[in-house]
Amino acid sequence: MSKNLVIVESPTKAKTIKKFLGRNYEVIASEGHVRDLPKSTMGIDIENDFEPHYITIRGKGGLVTSLKKAAKKSDFVYLATDPDREGEAISYHLAIALGLEDKKFKRITFNEITKNAVKDSLKSARTIDMDLVDAQQARRVVDRLVGYEISPLLWEKLGKKGLSAGRVQSVTLRMIYDREREIDEFIPEEYWTIDAYLNVPAQKKPVQFSYKGDIKTKKEADEIAKAVTNGSFVVSDIKNTTRTKKAPLPFTTSTLQQTAASRINYATSKTMRVAQQLYEGVEIKGQGTVGLITYLRTDSTRISEEADKSAREYIEANYGKEFVAETSEDNGKEKSQKNIQDAHEAIRPTNVNITPASIKGKVTAEQYKLYKLIYERFVGSRMKPAVYDIFSVTTECGGYSFRASSSTLSFAGYLNVYNSEEDKDNNKDNLSGINKGDKLVSDSIDAKQHFTEPPAHYTEASLVRTMEENGIGRPSTYAPTISTLLNRRYITKEQKNLYITELGEAVNGIMMTAFPEIVDVEFTANMEGLLDSIGDGNVDWKVVVRNFYPDLEHAISVARDNLDKIKIADEESDTICEECGAKMVIKYGSYGKFLACPNFPNCRNTKPYFETIGVSCPKCGNDIVKRNTKKGRPYYGCINYPECDFMSWARPVVKPCPKCGKYMVIKGKKLVCSDNECGYVEERTDFEEE
């Protein structure tokens, strides 16, 4: 019998697939790419129409030799790398590196690693899709041009090697910077709420009724509170309504990353690592290696007919026919966008009968938690909506309206399988005994002052959502982009929030000054669209690169010419090096600025750099300096720390608040009192657009 060779990326995937194929098949892993652009040089011949120069990846020569021998001994080779652009490119480079002839190899793909999917893929083997290869190649070339042309300029300007720029990472850094600036410039606005706690029949405790209207000042709040205190609240309106809540659609890459971050506290990189394990196959006692989920890099919510049917049968058998969604329309229209890799499905379990409970204790805790999330989301997506009965009561007192409502879950629907804290019915008040015209006696009136909140800091989850909404990057790039920014220390993570560091601000400042198009969200999204169109076969990849490069080349030329004008590295300080007597210079490190001796490496003296801002500490009178947290986030604190614990995220100014005397801070174009309750604001006279 003839011998067939199947080449996949990972040893785990090879082990899983080997189970489904007989002795006539040998399955070997390439361990990812075997050819790539060189690391030490650009690797792109710009003069020769941007022709890329690929080399065998260092350390993989022996593996390539082994693969060649295996291919030579085989009658036929199947290239079974992942079903996306990157996988197509790996297969293409394998064919080149192994010297495979067209008649001797085919490309196969499968969205899940199951026996049926693998065997079916062999029946529909095809040639390599060069449109997908070119789409990956175009991304690689454009990203290499951006990174290798701009990064050396960052090294020069900041005096720190190892910095990098990137087509996706730089615009993502800009998005984080813009959010942080929006937060820094936010000026809180005062508002008030008034709640009347009324005695309701059949309720042991008074029920909270809220005033329905905007209250801006304490004066307004006091007037309303005075008018209703000790007054009689008459029930003026009662409404009985129902509300349906549809189940969320099955996971895409971005929604999985977002939900895993909020529900099980997984970073995006961890989510993708564990999902990769579930896709390639995990060892389950008594079953061997099993691929538990479908392919994890997708922006489609489509589900195959076979999987949809299996889920509905499972729901009917375990919950009842009344819980089965009649059509997928019951739970929202499945996503259809021009960018969707529609060869893929949504992320779902490969077998709905492999329940989370059945594998608990047989897989790692990390794998169990993520599989449970994916499984429950998928099953829930095939179930009917939840239905709530809403009972609303409006009361009138002194010409003012107050309202309360209670909700009761009348049909659980998908909540039997997939729910979260926000889905739970936390409203315990029973208002059903109230009738129109009833008079309710007040127990107490509570007026509270509030201040509007700034936009939330990005978390990994919300950043991924914003990247997707703006068309920045693709499913495979979200996690690596965030990891790169964290590893470069351009951003830092505290609890779940992301903050830009002083180093990140410096890098972003240069990018915004010298390369505004690279960090423009709309420009990057348009470029993503062009790169996608290559994969659709609508545009030649070199046309995209030819049109992109001249503008990049011009921007780099201008930046080089103006390098001295915007250079911010090696600024001389007044601090004398106590070891050699030289004036120390300001440099950038992983955590921001520090002082270093200019005679390095002969003198290696360094010390912290405290940038005074000419403002005295309101607590002790010493200087306020710009500092960084341990993770690199900038703030303003007293130079006398830890004896004095004064700190402010916003920059303080010399001028005290003319209204209350407390210190004021800079908020964009305005000076604002540090005390929200004071609320004093004035225009800055020294403002310059930064």
Indicate if the pLDDT at residue 57 is higher than 60.
yes
Q: Which of 172, 173, 174, 214 is nearest to 193 (CA)?
A: 214
For residue 367, CA distances in Å to 4, 299, 375, 579 come to 33, 22, 12, 55
Q: Which of 561, 602, 556, 566 is nearest to 581 (CA)?
A: 602
**How far apart (Å, rounded) are the C-alpha atoms in residues 434 and 448?**
27
pLDDT digits (tens, 9 = 90+) for 320-332: 999 999 875 444 4
Indicate if the pLDDT at residue 455 is higher than 70.
yes
Of the ranges 428-432, 464-468, 605-609, which is most confident? 464-468
Query: Which position has the higher pLDDT, 432 or 37?
Result: 37
For the residues 110-120, what does the mean pLDDT come to?
92
- By mean pLDDT, which of 317-321, 329-333, 340-344, 607-611 is the weakest? 329-333
pLDDT of amino acid 180: 94
pLDDT of amino acid 272: 95
> Which residue has 């022709």 as its token pair?
51
User: DSSP label at 126?
Assistant: B
Q: What is the pTM of this model?
A: 0.83
For the residues 299-307, what does the mean pLDDT come to?
92
**How far apart (Å, rounded) are the C-alpha atoms in residues 431 and 461?**
38
pLDDT bucket at 339, cuts 50 / 70 / 90 = very low
Indicate if the pLDDT at residue 336 is higher than 70.
no
pLDDT digits (tens, 9 = 90+) for 640-676: 888 999 999 999 999 999 999 999 999 988 899 999 8
pLDDT of amino acid 685: 79
Query: Which position has the higher pLDDT, 405 or 561?
Result: 405
Are the C-beta atoms of residues 468 and 477 closer than 8 Å to each other? Answer: no
**How far apart (Å, rounded) are the C-alpha atoms in residues 122 and 113?**
13
- Helices then strands (H, E): number in the chain? 18, 30
Q: Which two tokens stand for residue 199?
A: 């005695």
pLDDT bucket at 63, cuts 50 / 70 / 90 = very high
For the residues 2-16, what does the mean pLDDT come to?
90
pLDDT digits (tens, 9 = 90+) for 223-236: 999 999 988 999 99
- By mean pLDDT, which of 278-287, 327-336, 632-641 is the weakest? 327-336
Are the C-beta atoms of residues 331 and 153 closer than 8 Å to each other? Answer: no
> Which residue has 């991304």 as its token pair?
139
For the residues 598-624, what does the mean pLDDT come to?
88
pLDDT digits (tens, 9 = 90+) for 537-587: 999 999 999 999 998 888 888 887 775 554 544 567 778 898 888 888 887
Beta bridge partners of 493: 498
For the residues 397-423, what does the mean pLDDT come to?
87
Are the C-beta atoms of residues 179 and 79 closer than 8 Å to each other? Answer: no
In one letter, which amino acid is 391? F
For the residues 590-613, what does the mean pLDDT come to?
83
148 flagged as catalytic:
no
Task: Burial-class residue 113 by CB neighbours within 10 Å (0-12, 13-18, 19+).
Answer: buried
Among 295, 388, 414, 636, which one carries the catalytic annotation? 295
Output the average pLDDT for the chain: 88
Three-class DSSP labels, 356-407: HHHHCCCCCHHHHHHHHHHHHHHHHHCECCEEEEEEEEEEEECCEEEEEEEE
